[in-house]
Structures are given as C-alpha cells and as structure tokens.
C-alpha cells in the first residue's frame, strides 16, 4: 500500500516514536507502514490520520 505517512509525519514535526505512542503501536510498526511493508488495519489508519489531523485518504492510497 502506497502512503505519504513519512512525509506528512515529518512535516508536522512528529517523530516515529511520538506517533507510535499516540496510536499505541510499536515504532517498528510505524517504520514498516512508512516503508510500505505493512498495511495498517482500517482502525489503525484512522487513528494515525486523526493523530496527524489529516484524512485517511490524505495519507493512504
């Protein structure tokens, strides 16, 4: 799954660790999502989007 998570996260000055804590997952999960190696569940994608004040469609395609 293609995504803009790294770009959007960086532009909001949130580290991978901070985002992982906000959505209650490991930093490895965030890294895997950013690399496109892991497809988040719908609920995790929504939590990530909410944490970054974005729409799911802004981050994940």
Judge contact between 25 and 53, C-beta under 8 A. Answer: no
Strands (E), 1-61: none
Domain ranges of the chain: 5-52
Half-sphere exposure of 22 (CA within 13 A, CB side): 17
Fold exhibited by the domain 5-52: 434 Repressor (Amino-terminal Domain) (1.10.260)
High-pLDDT (> 90) share of the chain, %: 95
* Structure tokens, 33: 């999502």
Q: pLDDT tens-digit profile of 13-52?
A: 999 999 999 999 999 999 999 999 999 999 999 999 999 9
Judge contact between 16 and 30, C-beta under 8 A. Answer: yes
Residue 1 in this model has a pLDDT that exceeds 70: no
């Amino acid at each position: 799954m293609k995504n803009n998570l790294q770009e959007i996260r960086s532009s909001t000055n949130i580290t991978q660790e901070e985002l992982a804590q906000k959505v209650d997952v490991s930093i490895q999960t965030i890294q895997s999502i950013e690399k496109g190696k892991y497809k988040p569940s719908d609920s995790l994608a929504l939590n990530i989007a909410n944490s970054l004040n974005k729409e799911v469609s802004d981050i994940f395609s």
